[in-house]
Amino acid sequence: MEELPVQRGDMRPISLFELCTGFMMISLLGFGGLGASSNYIIVERRRWLTAKEFVELFAICAILPGGNIMNATIMLGARHHGVLGSVLAMVSLLFMPLLILIAVVTTYDHFSYLPDVRAAIGGAASAAAGLIVATATKLGKGIVWRAAPICFATATFVAISYFRLPLWMVVLFMAPPSVFLALWKGGRP
């Protein structure tokens, strides 16, 4: 797998316009969740963040209440343009999807009974599940995989997908030892 040529990462200034178009793209490309499309825009296309910065931002956003990418939108907006950046980035993220939602809800009853439409939506849903899996493996590129992270990632996966434990419970039991280990190593991966 090729490395990204030059990672500009954290410090490159992003214009307000670029921020808004970026989040608009993320929302318009995001079917069945914004994980794949935000990785695509933020890390792969526009290179606002490196893979490592992205997984760390995502980690903080996932344990805060609210949508993960909505929280990331607020934080990236604030980092580059303060409160104005947060507000405009969020509006950019929400505006088009809301219009599309209204269009879909007002027309769906006319076409939803068509088996073709249902089959196409079913196929798209299967692909969307694959996108989530790939987002997980891509987020994994930002981590140095030693024994401890492998154990914590596996345990979290099993607890949620197999035992169906709620996330808060998993975070409560898994985060302290994982964070403590990282701290013990001096905050280095």
Compute the distance between CA of residue 31 and CA of residue 121 in angstroms, rounded to an integer.
11
Contact between 119 and another protein per CB under 8 A: yes
Residues 127-186 that bind another protein (CB under 8 A): 127-140, 142-143, 148-150, 152-157, 159-161, 166-168, 170-171, 174-175, 178-183, 185-186
Q: Classify 82 in phi/psi space as left (phi over 0), alpha (psi -120 to 50) or beta.
A: left
Interface residue with another protein, options 1, 6, 11, 13 (CB under 8 A)? 1
Minimum Å gap between C-beta 17 and another protein is: 21
Of 16 and 182, nearer to another protein (C-beta) is 182
Minimum Å gap between C-beta 2 and another protein is: 9
Identify the burial level of 151 via C-beta atoms within 10 angstroms of its C-beta, where 0-12 means exposed, 13-18 middle and 19 or more buried: middle
Contact between 115 and another protein per CB under 8 A: yes
Return the structure tokens found at 134. 């790939």
Compute the distance between CA of residue 135 and CA of residue 120 in angstroms, rounded to an integer.
22
Residues 22-81 that bind another protein (CB under 8 A): 27-37, 40, 44-45, 55-56, 58-71, 74-75, 78-79
Task: Tell me the one-letter amino acid at 109.
Answer: D
